Every structure is written in C-alpha cells, then in structure tokens.
Structure 1
Amino acid sequence: HPDDVERSRIAHSHVIDTGSLHIDLRLRCKGGEYRWFTWASTLSGEYAYSLAFEITEQKKTEEELVELAEQNQRIIRTIFDGYLLGAMDGHILDVNQTYCDMVGYSREELLQKTVYEMETNYNETDVIAFASNMTQSEVSVLVETQHYHKNGQLVDVEVNNIFWEDGRITCFIRDISERKRMERKIRRSEQRYRGLIESQIDFVCRYTPDTVLTYVNDAYCDFFGRSREELIGISYLTLAPEESKKDILARIHEVMENPAPDTRIFYFYDSGGNKYWVQWIDYGITNEAGEVVELQAVGRDITPMMEAQQQLAEREEMLTTILENIPLMVAQGDEKGRFNYVNKYWVEVLDWTLEEIHSLPNMMEIFYPDAAERERIIQSIIAGQEGWMDTKIRTRNGNLLDTSWANVQLSDGRKLGIGQVVTHRVELEKQRLYAQSLELELQKERELRALKERFVSLVAHEFRQPLAAMSTSLDFVLRYQDRITAERSNEKLLMVQKQIQRMAVLIEDALRFSKADAQKTEF
C-alpha cells in the first residue's frame, strides 16, 4: 500500500540490523484490492524467512472500534449530561466538561478526587458496596442524589450508573436542580392546593375514564355521607340516579374527545335521600401524548338556585297564563311607540298581531289619527302618568273604540300599558246623563204641576170673591130695584162690571198657564 512503502523499507533495514521483525502491512492482491497481513520475519544467513497471516477483518474491526471510541468521546464531550468514569475503589478516571461545569471543578482537579468526595448521600463504604452490588446484578442503576459544588453548595443530580466488565463504572450525571426546585415548588403548591380544596365547600373529585374515583375532598365525602376510604376505588356511577347515568357517560365520552372544561348540571340524592342539584365543571387530564388519563370535576350545590328558577318559571307561567286570558289589553313598548309584546286579548280587540304591527312604519298614527290626541298619549307614556286615561283608539277595521289605559313602569324601566274597553261604561254614562236629564224634566214637571195646583186654587179663590160680590150686588139690585135710586143701582152694576173684568184677567192668566204647560215653556 502506498502508505506502507516507507514503513516497509524501515522494516527491511530493521531485519538486517536485528535479525527479526513483526509488522502489519497492506499488500495488493491479484484482484487489485489491498489486504492486511501481519508479518513475522527472521534473518538466517543470506535469507529472511517470513510468516504472513491475513488480518484484514481484524483490522476492520479495530478501525471500527477506534472510530466508535472516537465517536463516543465526541458524544461524551458534547452531551448535555455530565460524564464520569470511575474505578471500583471510587477514584475518578475521566470526566467531561459538562460535569466540570456542573460542580465547578476543572478536569485536573476532579481526576485527583474520588466519587465519595463528591457524593453527599454515600460514603466510601457505601460507594464500594454499591459498586459490588452492581457487579452482582450487572445492570444499570438510576439514583437521585446530591454532589458537592466547589463553592460548597449542593447540586441535585440524577445518576445513571453502568458497570463494565473491566471493573470500571460509567456515570451519566444530569443536573436536576431546576427540576427539584420545581418539584419542591409544586409540592408546596400542591399542599396549598390540597388545603384549599379540602377547605372549600365545593365538591372536588378525580376519576378514571371508567368512572373509578381516585380522589375526593371532604366536601364530597360530607355530601354523600361516606368516608374517603369508602369512596376511593368505587365507580361514582353508583352514587348517581339511574336516569342520569346515560348523560354522565355521554359527557365522559365528550371529554375523551375534547378535554376542555365544560359545565353540566346533574341531580343527586344525599345520604338522607334528599334531592340536590349539582353544577359540575369537569375537564380531562392528559398525558404527554395528549391522551385523557383522568378527569377532574368540581361540583357546587345549586339547589337553591334551581328551586328559585323553578319557582320563577312557575310564576312566569302563571303570569303568562293570566296575561293571555285576562280580559284586559296588555302591551309593552318603548318611548318611540314600538311594541315588543301584546297579549291575546289585545289582538282580539284591535285585530292587529305583533308581526303586523312591526311591519308598519308608525302604528301610533294608525291607532290615534288625531295628532293632538296622539301627542297626549305619547307624552303620558313617557312621563309614566299614573291613573286611568280615557281615549279612543282605532281598530283594524277603522272603528274608534272607547278605551281606558293605565301606565305601569317595571323595575327595569320598561313601560307596560294596561287597557280596557270602556264602550259599555261610556254607554252607561250616556244613559246616566239621559236619566239625569229625565229626572230634571220630571222635577220640573212636578214643580209645574204643583204650581198649576196652586194657581188653580188661587184662581178658584179669586173667582169665588168676584162671583160672590156679583151675586150680592145683583141680588141687591133685583130685590130692591123698586126702592133704590138709579144712581145706587148703577153703582152696584159698575161693581159687577169690575168683578167681571177681574175674572176676565184671571181667565186670561189661566189660558196662558195652560199654553205654557202644553209647550213645556220655562217661565
């Protein structure tokens, strides 16, 4: 081989000088390829005798081992973990730069130390016993311990110890200080979290996808009237009503597909058999592969809220029933005249549906064609005028309907109008006024009749006086006409004439009174 020519010349000279030689060379064979041979030569007289053994495969193996060793050294020098090679007696034989940086020592300083000088949890006896146990078990051992830093601080490390047949121990050392710090922080956080969980009134539980409980807090135990030992390890489906199990399993299936939190409401029975509504917020706990391995649920007793909602629903149903059946018009609208609700009676009376109202540009103009009346109604709605207000409202067929409306303001500021048809009341009012006018006429009639009676009595009285006077005067004249003078007779006749005139006046008054009564003339 060209690379071995010079070595071959040196070897030839060496044989001549010393009489023997052992050398490995590459020779080109008939096929042109080079093969390795190991030569053992000896000089005898004028000749050199040599024995050659082909070692091509051995050389390839050696080269591969050398390359592998170089690769291992490169890996050891560049890996993020520390590397330490130790003897059975604990002396450090080799380290990489990562471990030097980890403990603050130089490589030269570490090669002067033993493993137990760096170790805090094991002394020399422990290290030797540990190495002996490794020899017997012939396995690698992973331990967590602490190594001394040059500055005196302790470094948390994870050590993977591997025993070799030559008695050496390889240690791959990982700095887990940050992980340990986080673990301590997590433990403290878990303690606080557990304290918080155990002290809160909400129910907290964790369970596997097949519903087996793995954790419950005190509130959960108290609610179901069982101890933690009785609950851990059982399926919480045994605590649920039969009719809820299907929905619970469906929710678990959803969590397995999507572990995001969600809220569900289920009812349970406590240890006393009382029905309670519980609002659960559950979510999936996943592993590194994103698979749900456990579920956690936080429950809160919302029975008072559910009962209040039920009572509210019953009340709303009752109010709706009343509104839809009461013989009063009910409408809810805003200050712009837009209606948001009208009841059944409103539709029956005015013959407009809510959808039809919304389709029209301005219903107030249709309801109240008179601008002044429309403005009065709008202002009364805006002002929230109390009491009933009478108005005429136009129906779908164009008739003006007598109605009376009252404004009611709700707690949220909305305005509610309550109306009633007052046509009957208006008719009654007309009848009342008519009856009142009739009563006045009758009163006048009674007064007139009384007046007539007094007048007739007066006339009769007034008639009797002149008639008596006339009768007396005529009787006197007739009886004594032969004995009285003409002057005296004329005097009596004049008196009779005056009485006749007086009676004529009375008769005229009676005629006028009769005419006034017939014509209902006020006088």
Structure 2
Amino acid sequence: TDQKRMEEALKKSEEYYRAIFENGGTAMAIVEKDGVISKVNSESETLLGFSLQEIEGKTRWDEFIVEEDRERLRQLFLKGQRKLKTTTAQYEADLIDRWGGRKRGLFKASIIPGTKQYVVSVMDVTELKRMEEALKKSEEMYRTLVEDQTDLICRFLPDGTLTFVNDAYCRYFGKSRDDLVGQSFLTLIPEEDQQNALNHLASLNKDRPVETCIHRVILPGGEVGWQQWTDRAILDKAGKIVEFQSSGQDVTDRKLAEDALKETNKKLNLLGSVTRHDLMNRISAIDGYAQILSEIAPSEPTIQKCASSILDLSESARRQISFTRDYHEMGIAAPRWQRVDTLAETAASAVSLNGVRLEVETGPAEVFADPLIEKVFINLMENSVRHGEKTTSVKISFRDRGDAGVIIFEDDGVGVPTDQKERIFDRAFGRNTGYGLFLAREILGITGISITETGLEGEVARFEMRIPKENYRMDE
C-alpha cells in the first residue's frame, strides 16, 4: 500500500542520513533547542575524548568551548534560533577535551528543517592553524629580511612584469611599490640596452639557473647609472621558467672608475707601444754599428770582443722590451670563460711541435681566466720541445677534485731538476728568455689559478694548474 511504501522510503532515508552522520569524516552532533546534545557520532568521541553515553542527553554543547569563546558562540546560537535560518556561517573557537587539552575547531551549524534542532559539524583544524601561524611567521621573517636589505630585490614574470619589489628598489628608482608592481622592469632600462637584458635572461635554464650581468638603468632624474644584477630562474616541476628573482646593486661609481682606468691604460699602452718601437729602432741601429765595428777591424781581438758584447747586450735589451710588451697586456681585457681543449689546440697551432704528439683529454671543462692564458699553453709546449731533450708526447688533462679543478700538463721528456722546481718561475731564470714561466704564473694568478711543477726529474715534466671552484665548470 501507499502507507507501506512511505514507511519504507522513510526508513531508507533515515538509514541514508544516519550513514552520512556516522561516516561524514568530521565530528557531528544534534543539538536541541535548550543547547543539550542529543546525539553525537564516533568522530565526536575521538575529538573530545568522551563516550557517547557520557555526552548524549547529559551535556550542553557550550561545555566543550573555552571560556573566552563561550559567550560569543552562545550569541551566535541564539541569533540562529531567532532567525531560524537553515544554515549559519562558519566560525572558529577553541575546544576543551576530556584531559583539558585545547583544540581549534571549525564549526558549522544548520537547523534541521521542520524542527528546532541543530546539526553541528566540527572540524579539528589545530594542526592547520599551527602550520598557518608557522607560515605567517616565516613570511614575516622573510619579508623583514628582504625589506631590511640595502640590495635591490625584485621578482618578475618571464615577460618582465614586476610582481614584487623591496623598499630599497622603490627608493632607488624614486617610485612607490604600487607604481612599480604590474609594470615591466624594462621601462627602467635605456631602450638600446633592453634587448641585451632579455638575451641575458633567455640564457638561464634548469642547468644554469643563476647568472650575473651589468647593465645601464634610468635614474629618477633622467640620468643613466649602472647596476649589477644576480638573476635566478624559478622553475616549475616540468623545468619551465615561471618567474625570476633578482638581487641588484648600484655599481655606477665602480663602472665609471673602471672606464676611467681603461682609458688611462689605453693611453699608457699607446705610449708604451711608441716607446718600444723607438727603442727597437735604436737597438737595431746599435746592432748595425756593432757589425760595422767588427768588420772594420777583423784582426783586433779587443775590438771584436767589444762588438760581441755590444750585440749580446742589445739582444738582452731586445728580450726585455719584448717582455714588457707581453706583460703590459695582462689584465687589460676582462677574464672570460674559455674551453680548455680549445686553448690547447689553438696554442698547438702556434708552436712548431717537431713531431711531438699532443693528447688533449679535458672534456668540456671551461676555465674563467685572462685571455692571455693561451700564452701559458704556448710557453709550456715550447719548453717541452726545446728543453725536454727526448720529448715524444705532451698530454693535457683535467681533474675535478671537488674543492678545485686541476689542469695537468705533462710531457715524457727529462723533467725538471728537483732543486729548480720553484726557481723556474722566477723572473730571468732559464736558458732562453727567462720570462716565460714567470709570465705564466702572473697570467694565471689574475683569476686565482696557481701553477706548480710536480713531475719526476729524469722521467716526466708535470705542471698542475689549480683552479678555484668558482672559476671552472663542466659545460656539456
């Protein structure tokens, strides 16, 4: 009959809602008009530490609320009763469990249609609130650290749109944070320099996410200054760049000083070049007069001895002038990254190896060094050929030792006498010009690279060039 069907439908409905009540995943309770809890689920037992028998019909809902939150929740409860709205807003309060422990609860209460009962759900958000507080403190600490920095700090999207700037950034450009965030940082760079800045950012990737660059910027008064930026690419899980974080400093004074120094060096180099040219001409003239003197009196021993001494002295002067030419070029050009295998091969093409076999096993190693480092390899190869006596092969290899990289240059010649391993780097030591290894050590030292001789006398000459960790890389 219809009544039977209605009873069965009601039974199924009750079972359905009872299943939801018991298995909803949160603590739930039925609260009567007078505030007494008439029913709770098992999650409520877990949350509060009381059994169903201890709660149902015996306890008011507000007995589980801490005193400082109790009155506020009572008023919300009464307000809901007066308005008889189906659903109230969510609110938070601290709960007290059986053992006096405090837990943060997220409450939601709804009137059961056709009754004056409430169904109340409570989610334990204690751990969530703890994490939120920890995150808030961490963000405050990070923000304080960033804002107190004298360095300019910003974040921006791949298209250049600024998403964050610190106070130092705002002060430097004379703009408010609202004026800057949402705008492209490119507007702060002279138009002719913007493409270089974009090219620099385009060079960053997951294998090389951090790089430094120097570029011009437009100052508040319209004049142009210089900044040095260290840019870091922020990547998503797929390795795609989603943002950049950058730290910058004003280097205008340093850049102007560097430019002034370069201009001064340029003028000094020009003067040195002219002077060396003139001296070489005069030495050639002295050689000519010495030759004439020798030819005028071929049978006079004293005159022949004087002429020979003059030629020896002029040759010594010529070598010293050549040394000043090589030495003054050091440090003029900025150090740069250079592949070791390319340096070795280029040096070999400039030296007559006379059948000596060259092996290069440096892989993709790159070194940050003065451009004149090529002369180091040329000098070492010339020494192997000239002084090795029995040299048949030269081997150049690279070792990554973790705290430093080492370029190893070795030949199978007679080696270096034990008592000369350090003296060979002294100025004017040697059987030829005496300046080669002295210059080599000076060139390498510009970027902190040291060189020592570690071979075995009579068996092998072995030079080790030790490179600081920050000045070498393995670029595949």
Change (3 A) 1:300 1:129: same
1:116 counterpart = 2:67: no
1:164 counterpart = 2:109: no
Counterpart of 2:20 in structure 1 is 72
2:19 is matched by which residue type in structure 1? Answer: Q
TM-score (norm 2): 0.52
CA distance in 1, matches of 2:17, 2:108: 20
Provide Cα deviations, 1:51-83, integer angstroms capped at 9, x if missing partner. xx6855x4553353244134224414xx2x211
CA distance in 1, matches of 2:117, 2:207: 49
Which of 129, 132, 157 is the matching residue for 1:183? 132
Please show how residues 86-235 of structure 1 align to structure 2 within 5 Å: 86-111=31-56, 112-120=58-66, 121-123=69-71, 125-132=74-81, 135-136=84-85, 138-139=86-87, 141-165=89-113, 166-207=115-156, 212-235=161-184
1:152 alignment partner, SS class: coil
1:383 is matched by which residue type in structure 2? Answer: R
CA distance in 1, matches of 2:241, 2:11: 50
- 1:244–1:266 Cα contact (<8 Å) kept: no
- Structure 2: 5+ residue stretches without partners: 281-317, 328-342, 360-380, 391-412, 454-476
CA distance in 1, matches of 2:211, 2:414: 51
Which of 183, 191, 198 is the matching residue for 1:242? 191
- 2:21–2:41 Cα contact (<8 Å) kept: no
1:103 is matched by which residue type in structure 2? Answer: L
Counterpart of 1:43 in structure 2 is none
CA distance in 1, matches of 2:112, 2:127: 31
CA distance in 2, matches of 1:205, 1:306: 22
Q: CA deviation at 1:105?
A: 2.9
Provide Cα deviations, 1:466-511, integer angstroms capped at 9, x if missing partner. xxxxxxxxxxxxxxxxxxxxxxxxxxxxxxxxxxxxxxxxxxxxxx
Counterpart of 2:310 in structure 1 is none
- 2:158–2:244 Cα contact (<8 Å) kept: no
Q: CA deviation at 1:126?
A: 0.7
Q: CA deviation at 1:366?
A: 5.7
- 2:22–2:42 Cα contact (<8 Å) kept: no
- 1:134–1:163 Cα contact (<8 Å) kept: no
Change (3 A) 1:222 1:82: same
- Structure 1: 5+ residue stretches without partners: 1-36, 38-52, 333-338, 392-403, 417-523
Provide Cα deviations, 1:5-36, integer angstroms capped at 9, x if missing partner. xxxxxxxxxxxxxxxxxxxxxxxxxxxxxxxx
Q: CA deviation at 1:364?
A: 6.1
1:68 is matched by which residue type in structure 2? Answer: Y
Which of 238, 246, 253 is the matching residue for 1:298? 246
Change (3 A) 1:191 1:368: closer
1:84 counterpart = 2:29: yes
Q: CA deviation at 1:99?
A: 2.2
Which of 416, 424, 428 is the matching residue for 1:387? 428
1:141 alignment partner, SS class: coil
1:86 is matched by which residue type in structure 2? Answer: V
Change (3 A) 1:250 1:117: farther
Provide Cα deviations, 1:448-471, integer angstroms capped at 9, x if missing partner. xxxxxxxxxxxxxxxxxxxxxxxx
Q: Which has the higher contact order (CA 8 A, sep 6+)?
A: 2
Please show how residues 412-491 of structure 1 align to structure 2 within 5 Å: 412=445, 413-414=450-451
2:90 alignment partner, SS class: strand
Which of 249, 274, 278 is the matching residue for 2:224? 274
CA distance in 1, matches of 2:53, 2:238: 47
Counterpart of 2:457 in structure 1 is none
Give the number of the structure whose residues are more often helix, by fraction: 1
CA distance in 2, matches of 1:107, 1:300: 63
CA distance in 2, matches of 1:251, 1:367: 45
2:111 is matched by which residue type in structure 1? Answer: F
User: Which range is displaced more, 179-188 or 147-156?
Assistant: 147-156
Cα RMSD for the two superposed structures = 5.3
Q: CA deviation at 1:204?
A: 2.4
1:92 is matched by which residue type in structure 2? Answer: I
Counterpart of 2:213 in structure 1 is 265
Change (3 A) 1:98 1:223: same
Change (3 A) 1:178 1:301: same
- 1:83–1:171 Cα contact (<8 Å) kept: yes
2:227 is matched by which residue type in structure 1? Answer: W
Change (3 A) 1:226 1:375: same
**Identity score, percent:** 18
Provide Cα deviations, 1:358-407, integer angstroms capped at 9, x if missing partner. 549x9768646989xx979978786326537666xxxxxxxxxxxx5445
Q: CA deviation at 1:130?
A: 3.9
Please show how residues 271-350 of structure 1 align to structure 2 within 5 Å: 271-272=220-221, 273-284=223-234, 295=243, 297-301=245-249, 303=251
Change (3 A) 1:232 1:67: same
TM-score (norm 1): 0.48
CA distance in 2, matches of 1:60, 1:279: 75
Q: CA deviation at 1:308?
A: 8.9
Change (3 A) 1:388 1:234: closer
- 1:205–1:220 Cα contact (<8 Å) kept: yes
- 1:207–1:296 Cα contact (<8 Å) kept: yes
Q: CA deviation at 1:248?
A: 6.4
Change (3 A) 1:71 1:299: same
- 2:388–2:415 Cα contact (<8 Å) kept: no
CA distance in 1, matches of 2:130, 2:434: 76
Larger Cα Rg: Structure 1 or Structure 2?
1
Equivalent residues, number = 328
CA distance in 2, matches of 1:61, 1:355: 105
Change (3 A) 1:234 1:342: closer
Q: CA deviation at 1:156?
A: 0.9
